[in-house]
Amino acid sequence: MTYRDKLDPGLKPSFMPNKWDKLPWVIGLGLLLRLLVVLLTERSLHPDEIIQYTEQAHRLTYGYGYVPWEYVYGIRSWLLPGAISLLLSGGRWLGLNEPSTYIPLVQIIACLLSLSVIYCLYWLGRVLMSESVGRIASVLAAGWYELVIRASTLTPEVVGAYLLLAALTCLVIRPTAKTALLLGLCGAGAVALRLQYAPAALVVVLLGLLYVWQKRWSWREMAIASTGFSAVVAFAGWLDHYTLDGYFVSYYNNYLYNKVYGISSLWGNEPVGYYAVMLGLYSGGVFWVTIAHSLWRKRPKPWMLLALLAAVVLPHMLIGHKEYRFIFAAVPICLLLSALTIDDLWQVRPQSKQKNWGKLLLGLMAFYAIATLFITSFFIEPKSPQIRAYQYLHDQPQLVSVLNLSSEWYLTGGYYYLHRDVPIYMPYHLEGIDPADWQRYISHIVCRHDQAPIVGFTPITQLGPLDIRVANQPPTETLAIETRYPPQGGVSNVFKPRVTPRF
C-alpha cells in the first residue's frame, strides 16, 4: 500500500518509506547534462535572456550597458537583474572580471538552481501519488530537454517556475516552521518575478487553507507562511520605489503599456489555443496524452496538479501576445503527470504477448529528449555567431568602437559579452555619413561575410557567416551621439516615460 492510499487529513508522513537512495545520483546526472549543454553551446534562446536581465545586471555591476525601453519606461522590476548583479559583484570581488569567467559563474549557479526541479518533482510525486511516481518524475526532470536547455537561463518565467514548484513542495511535505516560511517566500517570489503566475500561486494558497481545514497544517504555520509572503511582497514594492520612484510601479506600468496600450501586440498575437498546441508539439504529443490520461483515469485523480497546470496556462491564453517560454512552469507539471501515466501503464499486468505501454512511453520520452538535446547541441547553431563576435572583440586591444552591420542590437551579446566600455554603433547611427569616412570613427566592424568591401577596413577573422573587419588606421574622432538607449518603434516616438529611473 502506498502513502497515497493511506493519506487522510490527520496522517503524518511518518508512514512513508525512506528517501530514495539513488536520488543524489539522478540529481548528479541532471547536473552533468546541464553542464554539458553549457560547455557545448553559447547562445540565447530569446533576446530577453541577455538584454533584459544579464545585460542589466552587468550595467548595475560595471556601470555601462544597453538600456532597453522597458527600463526607461519602468515596466521591469529590478528584482531579477539585481539578484544576478549580486552574483556578478561576488565574482568581481573574487577576481572574476572577464566574460570568460563571470558568464560561466552565472550559468553554473543557474544550473544548480535548476536542480531544485528534480528534487521537487520527486517529493511531489512521492507524497501526492506514490514512491514510484516520484522516482520516475525525478528521472524525467533530470533529462527532459526543455529543462536541460533552459537550465542556464535566468528569466522571470524560469526562476518563477522553480519557486512555484518549491512552494507547492513545501506545502505537501511535513509542515514545520522552516517549510512554512519557505512556502511564503517562494510563493511570493514566483509572483514578484512573473505576475502572470499569481493565479497559480493562488491555487497554492487555497490548497494551504484546505490543509489547515483538514488539520494537516496549523494556523501558526500558515501565519509564518503569510509573514514570509508579505515580506517578499513588501520588498518588491520597496525595490520599485527605490529604483523607479514608486511603489509597485513596474507591475502597474507593465499592465498599462502591454495590456491597456497594447504594446505587446507589436511583437504579434497568437490564437487562444496556441499554448495547448505548443505543449503537444514540444513534447512530441506526450503531454497531450498524459493530460488526457490524468483527466480520465480512475480515482484518485491528480486534481491538485491539474488545477495548478490550468492556473498557469489559462491566464496566459487570455493574453494576445503569446510565447511558449511564458508558460515554462507548465513543463515540470506536465512531466509529473507524465510520470503518473507511465506508472499507471507500468502497473497494468500485461497479458501474454502484450506490450508494456509504460515502458514504451518512457522510452519515447527518453528518445525524444536525447535526440533534441543532441540536435540542438551540435547542429542547430550551438554557438551564436553574434555572441562569438563580441567575445572575439573583447580580446582586441585596439578596440575603440564597434559598428554592427549584421543584426539588430538586441540579437547580439550586448555589453554582457563585449565587456568593453566603448560605443557600439548601428547603421542608423551613421546615417548621412559617407562609408568612406567610417574609418574616422570606427575601429572594428561586424558584418556578413558576403558584405561588399568597406573602404579603410580589412577582414581579420571569420566566425561562421560573420566577418570581423578592422580599420587600417586607428579612429581619430568620436561621434557625439547616445548609443546605449536604442529607440523602440511604436513606443519611443509615442509615449513619454512616467518614471525617473535611478539606474
pLDDT at residue 366, as a whole number: 85
* Residue pLDDT tens, the chain, 503 long: 343 443 333 333 434 567 899 999 999 999 999 999 999 999 898 999 999 999 999 999 999 999 999 999 999 999 999 999 999 999 999 999 999 999 999 999 999 999 999 999 999 999 999 999 999 999 999 999 999 999 999 999 999 999 999 999 999 998 999 999 999 999 999 999 999 999 999 999 999 999 999 999 999 999 999 999 999 999 999 999 999 999 999 999 999 999 999 999 999 999 999 999 999 999 999 999 999 999 999 878 999 999 999 999 999 999 999 999 999 999 999 999 999 999 998 877 555 456 677 777 888 888 888 888 888 777 777 889 999 999 999 999 999 999 999 999 999 999 999 999 999 999 999 999 999 999 999 999 999 999 999 999 999 999 999 999 999 999 999 999 999 999 999 999 899 999 999 99
Q: Do 401 and 440 touch, CB atoms closer than 8 A?
A: no
pLDDT at 15: 44
Integer Cα distance of 119 and 303 in angstroms: 21
Instruction: Output the DSSP codes for 267-320.
Output: G----TTHHHHHHHHTTTTHHHHHHHHHHHSSSSP-HHHHHHHHHHHHHHHTSS
Q: Of how many residues is the chain composed? A: 503
For the entire predicted model, the pTM comes to: 0.93
Tell me the three state secondary structure of residue 447.
Answer: strand
CA distances from 93 to 58, 108, 424, 455 (A): 14, 18, 27, 43
Strand duo 457-463 + 424-425: pairing: unpaired
Q: What is the pLDDT of residue 347?
A: 77
In angstroms, the CA 226 to CA 114 distance is 25
Q: So what's the pLDDT on residue 498?
A: 92
Distances, alpha carbon 472 to alpha carbons 231, 391, 447, 457, in Å:
58, 21, 16, 6
Determine the angle formed by the axes of helices 219-244 and 198-213, rounding to 10 degrees. 160
Reference 333, options 195, 165, 470, 180; nearest CA is 165
Element (H, E) at 18: none
> Closest Cα partner for 385 from 297, 463, 314?
463
Which residues touch 398 (CB under 8 Å, ≥6 apart)? 443, 470, 474
Q: Decide the pairing of beta strands 402-404 and 424-425.
A: parallel
What is the pLDDT at residue 251?
98
Return the axis-axis angle of helices 198-213 and 177-193, rounded to nearest 10°: 160
| Residue 368: predicted pLDDT | 84
